[in-house]
Structure 1
Amino acid sequence: MFDEDVVRHYQMHLANRRAMRPDHEYARVTDAEWQEFEDHFDKRKVELGACGRPYGTPCAHEHARVRCPMLHVEPRMILRLDELEADLIARRERAETEGWKGEVDGLELTLGHLRDKRDRAIRLQKQTTAPSTSAP
């Protein structure tokens, strides 16, 4: 979900840049290219939401998505984040009991990212469900 003002300004920027370049530099997009582009965005969809990484780039956090700064959590997945947090807390407690200090550090880091993502998702949920304050 992008701010409409940001999208509009970016589109204006692209239009201005394109106006400065010769038309022959812009080839028509092939069906295969367009399919590859769409596939990229389909692959960005994950359990908790979507990865906001740029087109054509891999995700370095493939199996640690909660730590990924590009993960955009869907507000409807807040309860799933709560489940993941409970599991991480239980794992941290075991790691503390076993004396696995490196594991404790890693779990603390993941918990911090998870809580940050949940806070953002809650804020987004409030923004999208807030009643309109504009006068009729």
Structure 2
Amino acid sequence: MHPGDEYRRTSAEEWQEFEEHFDKRRIELGSCGRPYGTPCQHEHACIRCPMLNVNPKMLDRLNEIEADLLVRRERAEAEGWIGEIEGIDLTLTFLRSKRDEAQRLARRMTVDLGIPTARPDAKGQVPR
């Protein structure tokens, strides 16, 4: 616990910067899990980024991206672009992993646990 005098009100500029960080974390496929105040280290190559959390609602979009990558891979093979093929294969690996993760999330059951309550002790008193 910090002493109370260490706390101060946040300035309007600080609060705006904080909100903007989280606004920028929302991306087409879901959200970026990078910590507050850190830049994107992967130059927005989100499919390959371990910080990308794919929204299960975007599974169809992942399928579209995969189809596009497969077309690009065919072209790269036809042209003999070995480096391009390696890059596309790496991206496909990440994409498929992200899709599997999003599918697992989509299958999770949601369980309503209700509001927790405290049980009375032997004397009938409810703990505080």
- Shorter-chain TM-score bucket reads 0.7 to 0.9
Structure 1 length-normalised TM: 0.77
Instruction: Identify the residue that residue 106 of structure 1 maps to in structure 2.
Output: 87
Q: Which structure's residues are more often helix, by fraction?
A: 1
Could you tell me which runs of 5 or more consecutive residues in structure 2 were left unpaired when the two chains were aligned: 114-128
Q: Is residue 2:46 matched to residue 1:65?
A: yes
Query: Which of residues 63, 85, 103 in structure 2 aligns to 1:122?
Result: 103
Could you tell me which runs of 5 or more consecutive residues in structure 1 were left unpaired when the two chains were aligned: 1-18
Superposed displacement of residue 131, structure 1: 6.0
Q: Point out 4+ residue stretches in structure 1 off by more than 3 angstroms.
A: 131-134
Superposed displacement of residue 117, structure 1: 0.5
Q: Write the deviation string for residues 12-42 of structure 1: whole angstroms up to 9, x where unpaired.
A: xxxxxxx1x3222222212221121111000
Measured at CA, do residues 99 and 68 of structure 1 come closer, stay the same or move farther in structure 2, by a change above 3 Å? same
Superposed displacement of residue 102, structure 1: 0.6
Superposed displacement of residue 83, structure 1: 0.3
Equivalent position SS for 1:72: strand
Instruction: Identify the residue that residue 79 of structure 1 maps to in structure 2.
Output: 60
Query: Paired residues, what number?
Result: 113
Q: Is residue 2:29 matched to residue 1:48?
A: yes
Percent of matched pairs sharing the same residue? 61
Structure 2 length-normalised TM: 0.81
The alignment's C-alpha RMSD in Å is: 1.7
Structure with higher Rg: it is 2
